[in-house]
Amino acid sequence: MILAVSVERASRERGFLSAEQAFDFLDGASEVLARSLDYEQTLEDVARLAVPDLADWCAIDVVQDDGSLRQITSRHPDPAKEELLLELRRRFRARVGGGAGVAAVVRTGEPEHVYDTGATPSADIELSDEERELYAKLAPRSYLIVPLITRARTLGALTLLSTREGRHYGAPDVRFARHLARRFALAIDSARLFEESRAARARAEFLVRAGEIFASSLDYEKTLQNVAEIAVPELVDWCTVQLRDEDGSIKQVAAAHADPAKVQLAWELQKRFPPDPEADTGAANVIRTGVTEHYPEITDQMIDEGVPDLEFREIVKGLGIRATIVAPLRARGEVFGAVTFVSAESGRRFTPDDISLVEEIARRAGMAADNARRATEDADIAHKLQAALLPSPRDLPAIPNVDLATQYNAAGQQNEVGGDFYDVFATPVEGEWIILIGDVSGKGAEAAAVTALARYTVRAAALESSEPSELLQKLNAVLLAQRQGREFCTACIARVVPWEDTVKLRCCLAGHPSPILLPEGGGAELIGTPGTLLGMFEDADLVDCDLDLGPGDGLVFYTDGVIEAGRPTEQLGDEGLAEALAEARPETPFEAVHLAETVARETQRNATRGGSELRDDVALVAIRVRAPVAAAVP
């Protein structure tokens, strides 16, 4: 008996590795750990390194951001024994809490060492007959747990288990394991820091891309869809956007998933099972409180408690949702919606950094969506204002023996209040019509005011005179009196008088591009005498020009937005437009205005190698004298 005790005591004081073996192991371990800075790969390498030289099974427990322990093992070659080991650890931790085992080692920073485990598990863990039999085959002999400490911080713990006959861990083995754990901890922490640095850089790059995407459109619905798509599938598997409607209901307005079928499912579920605006969790609660919700793990119990409808509950369970973050969409101090990020089939876990990233995305998305909403509302107002400033096609008068077409496009995204304008109306003199086209400096409200002033001034002046130069002189006087040189205007007025099978036309230009005559026989000609622009000088130089249009002759009026297409040094120009129209020989006014705009856009596209958006507004008016209809032969 005394001899046995002496042998055991000697064994406890003697390690099973020689100094040379320990040195060789450390040399090999250092080489393996130096191969990669990948965090997950480093954890896997650390767990496998100790087997079989130091242990028959090894586990690494890493402290997570929320204080929980993440477990990585070397994986026993027998799956049944691996499962038993993990189950025994789970029961042990449930029974002793933080009083022993890994939790105690992490808390205290002191190792735990059991020289001989005995024939049954510790902590009075009950085993079934099958588990007892498997435990006997596993035959654990000894184990030790040492803390993973580096930079005065405990990262977790290293567990070594011996199931080999005669291999029991002694005091030297504990000292060696502590030394090894420090090396392991340094490698794990270096990989973690590298991973955090890479993740931080990725988050910053992601936010840059998100900002670019959010800024790419001022269309409200498109912006909301961009919000949903921004993180799929890079960060999350699902993303939906919900807004609070005017009646207080919660309405889904965007959804994204890598699988289009699942996007369709999201819309169907929204329609069949609309969210409860008074719900204590989810988008409704986040919109109501303005506080982000994070559910690191979605369990069946949570779904059972949160989804009353049985059918909907089973559908949600079938989606395999793992975790969610719901963040508020806020603008100008008001929460108007929420964005929901969901981890499902990828199994991603959300870290505190992920939550911060999601909140930052939501903050930027809220501002982008609000800007887009306001821009959309402004565009709607602008559209209505523009409609009031320009005659609609159905309001254009019918001029005997003359076909007429108009076209207008404002330059710039979401901006339909431009400075170009046109008008066509009959004068008090029977058989006379006025065609007016012009371009006011600037855009927006000021341009709209001058546009309205110009149109209605000319209409009012036409009650007394239909001479184009006199109408432009009166407009110039009004602009000087009311705008005092702050804005100027170019304009062209043509008086149209149908006469038998021809049209007599008198035209005057005030700093405006010359109309293009398209004779029936082909070709093109610029007409009119350049004059002084309006609103700048009291004595405007304005000259009337007379022209007779025969059957089939056409005339195209336009603003400078058409002819200024292209590079600043290589613009289309009035002659370039005239050549294009002469070559195409449009047969109707509609073809003429459509062709003129198309030529301008093509010129712009060729100049910018892809973009066809014109730099300035475009207004076009075209007329064509009808050919006489031959009388029927009796």
pLDDT at position 128 is 83
pTM of the entire structure?
0.55
Q: In the predicted model, is pLDDT for residue 16 greater than 80? A: no
Percent of the chain with pLDDT over 70: 91
CA 225/CA 424 separation, integer angstroms: 42
Least confident of 388-402, 423-437, 499-513: 388-402
Half-sphere exposure of 572 (CA within 13 A, CB side): 29
pLDDT at position 503 is 95
pLDDT at position 507 is 97
Residues 473-497: what's their mean pLDDT? Answer: 90
Q: In the predicted model, is pLDDT for residue 1 greater than 50? A: no
Domains of the chain: 2-193 (3.30.450.40), 215-382 (3.30.450.40), 393-625 (3.60.40.10)
CA 329/CA 337 separation, integer angstroms: 5
> 304-320 burial by CB neighbour count: b if 16+ within 10 A, else e?
eeebeeeeebebbeebe
**Bigger pLDDT: 111 vs 96:** 111
Q: In the predicted model, is pLDDT for residue 582 greater than 80? A: yes
SS3 6: helix
Question: Which residue type occupies 458?
Answer: V
Residues 358-375: what's their mean pLDDT? Answer: 84
Average per-residue pLDDT for the chain: 84
**Which stretch, 49-63, 87-101, 144-158, has highest mean pLDDT?**
144-158
Residues 249-278: what's their mean pLDDT? Answer: 89
pLDDT band at 17 (very low <50, low <70, confident <90, very high): low
Neighbours of 40 (CB within 10 A): 11
C-alpha angle with apex 497: 492 to 499, nearest 5 degrees?
150
Q: Treating both helix axes as pointing N-terminal to C-terminal, what angle do 39-49 and 171-214 enclose, rounded to 10 degrees?
A: 160
Residues 86-107: what's their mean pLDDT? Answer: 85
User: What would the DSSP string read from start to end of 482-537?
Assistant: HHTTSS-EEEEEEEEEEETTEEEEEEEEES-PPPEEE-TTS--EE-S---PPBSS-
Least confident of 200-214, 371-385, 577-591: 371-385
Q: In the predicted model, is pLDDT for residue 413 greater than 60? A: no
Q: In the predicted model, is pLDDT for residue 140 greater than 50? A: yes
Q: In the predicted model, is pLDDT for residue 11 greater than 60? A: no
- The per-residue pLDDT for range 419-466, each reduced to its tens digit, is 789 999 999 999 999 999 999 887 777 778 888 889 999 999 999 999
- The per-residue pLDDT for range 541-567, each reduced to its tens digit, is 999 999 999 999 999 999 988 888 877
65: buried, middle or exposed (CB in 10 Å: 19+, 13-18, 0-12)?
A: exposed
Q: Which helix (DSSP H) or strand (DSSP E) does residue 130 occupy? A: helix 129-138
